[in-house]
Amino acid sequence: FKSASGQQIVPPEDPVVLWVDGGSASATEVLAGSLHDNCKAVVMGDKSFGKGLIQAVYGLKNGAGLVLTVAKYVTPNQNEIQGIGITPDIPGKNILPPLLPGGLGGGSDTSKVDFADIKTRLSSNYCSIPEQREQLSQK
């Protein structure tokens, strides 16, 4: 991943984990879905919000307004986001707080975290979509 100036931010071989939950919506879901569908990241957490519509607001002469849906977000694999959200590879309800510095909100108990599973999913050949894993390995 590169910045707008072209600076390498995350080397392509480095594993990426994205955390999503019910507060993750819209562009966040597009990013998570895109990285996931392209086997570039493992998604952890809880199902995202499911905001996948793009709407425009038009003012009318009488002072009223019209809200019109003009597009919808889908992932690269054409998975709908609206009303569905992004489902994590690794469900993680309430496991994030123990992972934060100082155990914010949850102490330092990491017993609910399956680190072996995370490590397996972060291996360079991991992809939760077998067909895509095969396609990527042929490139």
Whether 1 is covered by a domain: the verdict is: no
Domains held by the chain: number: 1
Q: What is the pLDDT of residue 33?
A: 95
DSSP letter assigned to residue 121: H
Q: Which two tokens stand for residue 12?
A: 């392509």
Q: What is the pLDDT of residue 104?
A: 45
Residue 63: give its domain's CATH number: 3.90.226.10
Whether 5 is covered by a domain: the verdict is: no
Give, for all 139 residues of the chain, the pLDDT tens digit: 667 888 877 777 777 888 899 999 999 999 999 998 888 888 888 999 999 999 999 999 999 999 999 999 999 999 999 999 999 988 876 555 555 555 444 444 555 666 676 666 666 555 655 554 454 444 4
> Exactly one of 24, 47, 48, 51 is catalytic; which is it?
51
Whether 12 is covered by a domain: the verdict is: no
Active site residue 51: yes
Beta-carbon contacts of residue 15 (< 8 Å; ≥ 6 apart): 42, 122, 123, 124
Active site residue 26: yes
Determine which helix (DSSP H) or strand (DSSP E) holds 57, and give its type and residue range. Answer: strand 53-59
Q: What is the pLDDT of residue 133?
A: 45
Write out the residue range of the structural domain in which residue 106 sits.
17-126
Q: What is the pLDDT of residue 53?
A: 96
Whether 2 is covered by a domain: the verdict is: no
Closest CA to 41 of 98, 9, 88, 75: 88
> Exactly one of 26, 40, 47, 128 is catalytic; which is it?
26
